[in-house]
Chain A
Amino acid sequence: KQEVTQIPAALSVPEGENLVLNCSFTDSAIYNLQWFRQDPGKGLTSLLLIQSSQREQTSGRLNASLDKSSGRSTLYIAASQPGDSATYLCAVHGEVEYGNKLVFGAGTILRVKS
């Protein structure tokens, strides 16, 4: 059974700091990995999608890497801002034996202090 773990569970940093969020998964048989952002009481917003054949994706101040063989992904946020405060969710899209479904981690709650 695919399991996704995110570390740390919560993180509080001063504005301007660079930070790294970690995601690990137990089965490397994945199609892709997706990072989402969730604001309180809201739906999920997709940040980055990394295909299994790719090593990283970048969007603005965000960079996500994927090491499929070791079952790890990191989300790097450069020059953090108070507006980055949210919950960040990692999800892996499993291959056929997982029914073509997304499996989520529990998330990292990020607070950026001004």
Chain B
Amino acid sequence: DGGITQSPKYLFRKEGQNVTLSCEQNLNHDAMYWYRQDPGQGLRLIYYSQIVNDFQKGDIAEGYSVSREKKESFPLTVTSAQKNPTAFYLCASSSTGEELGYTFGSGTRLTVV
């Protein structure tokens, strides 16, 4: 079955550490996205990529970095510069044709300890 796989499901980060969240898709989608979700708030876009080796900042990119070396993979690194990283992180993908919708992964919950 086609879909998006996020790992790990739960992640704990110590102060000053960088951590990387994995996102892999086998839907042959060109575009991939990272969103952050905080309690009581809507999803906010961190980074997105519409093609391999290219990506753009979203609304809250500070303290995060991404890479897009393969079509199937779009890992997100939460750096030590992100001062409030505790949140639920969701990865999504879509075809670049505007007629198709988005597919989301099951999420990674990151907690700072």
A interface residues with partner B (beta carbon < 8 Å): 4, 31-32, 34, 36, 41-46, 49, 51, 89, 91, 93, 99-102, 104-107
Given the known inter-chain contacts A43-B90, A43-B104, please indicate yes or no for A100 contacting B98, CB distance below 8 A. Answer: yes
Which of B58, B96, B101, B107 has the most A CB atoms < 10 Å from its CB? Answer: B101
Query: Are B102 and A102 closer than 8 Å at their CB atoms?
Result: yes
**Majority SS of interface residues in chain A?**
strand
A31 with B99: in contact, given A43-B107, A100-B31, A106-B41 (CB under 8 Å)? yes
Asked whether, in the complex, the Cβ of A44 is within 8 Å of the Cβ of B104, the reply is: yes
**Across the interface, which residues of B come within 8 angstroms of A100, CB to CB?**
31, 50, 96, 98
Q: Does B52 contact A (CB under 8 A)?
A: no
A32 contacts B99, CB within 8 Å? yes
Q: Are B45 and A44 in contact (CB under 8 A)?
A: no
Q: Are the C-beta atoms of B31 and A89 separated by less than 8 Å?
A: no
Query: In whole angstroms, how far apart are the Cα atoms of A104 and B102 in the complex?
Result: 12
Cβ-defined partner of A101 (8 Å) among B40, B42, B48, B96: B48
**What are 12 A-B pairs with beta-carbon distances under 8 A?**
A4-B42, A31-B98, A34-B101, A36-B104, A42-B106, A43-B90, A43-B106, A44-B104, A46-B104, A89-B43, A91-B102, A93-B98
A106–B42 CB distance below 8 A: yes
Complex Cα distance, B40 from A100, in Å, reads: 25
Q: Is the CB of B98 within 8 A of A46?
A: no
Q: In the complex, which residues of chain A have a beta carbon less than 8 angstroms from the beta carbon of B6? A: 43
Residue pair B101, A49 in contact (C-beta under 8 Å): yes
Complex alpha-carbon distance, A32 and B56, angstroms: 22
Contacts of A41 in B (CB 8 A): 88, 107, 109
Known contacts A32-B98, A32-B101, A43-B104: does B31 contact A104 (CB below 8 Å)?
A: no
Residue in B42, B88, B99 whose beta carbon sits within 8 Å of that of A107 in the complex: B42
Give chain B nearest CB distance to A11 CB in angstroms: 15
CB-based nearest B residue for A105: B42
Whether, in the assembled complex, B79 has its beta carbon less than 8 Å from a beta carbon of chain A, the answer is no
From A102, which residue of chain B is reached at the shortest CB distance? B102
* B 79-111 binary contact with A (CB < 8 Å = 1; else 0): 000000000101010001011111111110100
